[in-house]
C-alpha cells in the first residue's frame, strides 16, 4: 500500500487514538477473477455503500469477529478488462481487501485487491502541499537542519498535533479548568465556555483552550443540548491528557 501515513512524534503519539478512529479514503485497483459487465460492477459497488457487515481477514491485527463499518461513498472510476479502479471513503478500521473479496462474491466471479493507495487519513490528504512529503524529502530536510541548525526545515513536514484533531468535535474550556484536566480530572459543566454542535454521548471529543491548544482527548458523557442547558455535572471523561501539567496555573484544590 502507498499514500498518506501520518506519523506522530514524542508526546504527539497520544493523538494516534483519534487518527485510528477517523475516516479514511483509498484508491483501489480490484482484480476480478472472471469477466463481468461494467454496468453490473457499478450496480454491485452501489450495494456496498452505507453500513456493511465485515469480518476482518485471517491476516489482521484484530480479533476476527463480525462487526459493522460504514462506507461513506464508493465511486467507480474506470475498468480495464478485469481490473476495476474505484475510490472509497470509509470508517476507520475498514479492510479494503475484505471489501474487494465480498464484492467479488456478490459478482459471482471472485475478486481480490491488487493495489491500494490511501489518499486521506483523517484531516491529512495527499493533495496538501503543507506537511505531505516523501521519505526522501524528510531525509533531505533533516540533513539541511543538521547542517544549518535552521528549524524551519523541520517545520516543512512536522505539524502541530492539533492538526490531527481537526475533524473531531471540540469543546473549549476556561483557562482555570486547564490544569485540572491535565491532572486527569473529568470535565465539568462550569469549565466549558463554548463547544461545537451535534456532540452525542460517547463521542470522542477534543478539549481545547481558547487559544486553540489541545488539552486532552475525552469521551462525551452528554449531548451538546444537555451541556448548553446544564450548569453543573460532568460533561466529558478525560481519556488522554495532551498538555503537560503546569502549562496553565493551578486554580483548584486537591481537597
Is 96 part of any domain? yes
Is 144 part of any domain? no
Give dist(CA 87, CA 27) in Å, integer.
5
3-state secondary structure of 103: helix
The number of distinct structural domains making up the chain is 2
pLDDT surpasses 70 at 148: yes
Using the 3D structure, point to which of 87, 121, 155 is the last residue of a domain.
121
**Number of helices (H), then strands (E), in the chain:** 6, 13
Structure confidence at residue 127 as a pLDDT band (50, 70, 90)? confident
pLDDT in tens, 36-85: 999 999 999 999 999 999 988 877 777 888 999 999 999 999 999 999 99
Whether 220 and 238 have beta carbons less than 8 Å apart is answered as no
What integer is the mean pLDDT of 126-147? 86
Give dist(CA 119, CA 114) in Å, integer.
16
Residue range(s) defining the domain that contains residue 77: 23-121
What integer is the mean pLDDT of 187-211? 94
β-bridge partners, 67: 54
Is 153 part of any domain? no
Same domain, residue pair 117 and 179: no
* CATH assignment at residue 106: 3.30.70.3190
pLDDT in tens, 100-114: 999 999 999 999 999
Using the 3D structure, point to which of 95, 121, 147 is the last residue of a domain.
121
Give dist(CA 190, CA 176) in Å, integer.
10
Is 198 part of any domain? yes
Strand pairing report for 50-54 and 24-32 = unpaired
Using the 3D structure, point to which of 121, 153, 178 is the last residue of a domain.
121
Question: For residue 29, what is the enclosing H or E element?
Answer: strand 24-32
Q: Look up residue 69 and give its three cell numbers.
A: 463499518
* CATH assignment at residue 229: 2.30.130.10
Give dist(CA 16, CA 218) in Å, integer.
13
What integer is the mean pLDDT of 231-237? 93
Same domain, residue pair 56 and 112: yes
How many residues are listed for the chain in this entry?
Answer: 255
Per DSSP, 11 falls in state G
**Long-range contacts formed by 12-17: CB under 8 A, 24+ apart:** 12/161, 12/164, 14/161, 14/217, 14/240, 14/241, 14/242, 15/161, 15/164, 15/165, 15/214, 15/217, 15/240, 15/242, 17/204, 17/217, 17/239, 17/240
Place of cell 470522542: 204
The percent of residues in the chain predicted with pLDDT above 90, rounded, is: 71
Write down the pLDDT at residue 255: 46
Is 139 part of any domain? no
Amino acid at each position: 500500500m502507498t499514500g498518506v501515513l501520518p506519523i506522530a512524534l514524542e508526546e504527539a503519539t497520544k493523538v494516534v487514538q483519534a487518527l485510528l478512529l477517523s475516516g479514511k479514503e483509498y484508491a483501489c485497483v480490484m482484480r476480478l477473477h472472471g469477466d463481468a459487465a461494467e454496468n453490473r460492477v457499478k450496480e454491485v459497488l452501489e450495494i456496498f455503500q452505507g453500513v456493511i457487515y465485515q469480518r476482518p481477514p485471517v491476516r489482521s491485527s484484530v480479533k476476527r469477529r463480525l462487526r459493522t463499518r460504514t462506507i461513506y461513498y464508493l465511486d467507480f472510476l474506470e475498468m480495464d478488462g478485469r481490473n476495476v479502479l474505484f475510490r472509497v471513503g470509509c470508517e476507520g478500521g475498514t479492510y479494503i481487501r475484505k471489501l474487494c473479496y465480498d464484492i467479488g462474491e456478490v459478482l459471482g466471479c471472485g475478486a481480490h485487491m491488487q493495489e491500494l493507495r490511501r489518499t486521506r487519513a483523517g484531516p491529512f490528504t495527499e493533495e496538501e502541499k503543507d506537511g505531505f512529503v516523501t521519505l526522501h524529502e524528510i531525509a533531505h530536510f533533516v540533513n539541511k537542519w543538521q547542517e544549518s541548525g535552521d528549524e524551519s526545515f523541520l517545520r516543512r513536514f512536522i505539524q502541530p498535533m492539533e492538526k490531527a484533531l481537526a475533524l473531531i468535535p471540540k469543546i473549549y474550556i476556561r483557562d482555570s479548568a486547564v490544569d485540572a484536566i491535565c491532572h486527569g480530572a473529568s470535565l465539568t459543566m462550569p469549565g466549558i465556555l463554548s463547544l461545537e454542535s451535534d456532540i452525542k454521548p460517547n463521542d470522542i471529543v477534543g478539549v481545547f483552550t481558547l487559544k486553540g491548544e489541545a488539552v486532552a482527548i475525552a469521551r462525551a458523557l452528554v449531548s451538546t443540548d444537555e451541556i448548553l442547558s446544564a450548569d453543573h455535572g460532568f460533561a466529558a471523561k478525560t481519556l488522554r491528557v495532551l498538555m503537560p501539567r503546569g502549562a496553565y496555573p493551578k486554580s483548584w484544590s486537591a481537597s
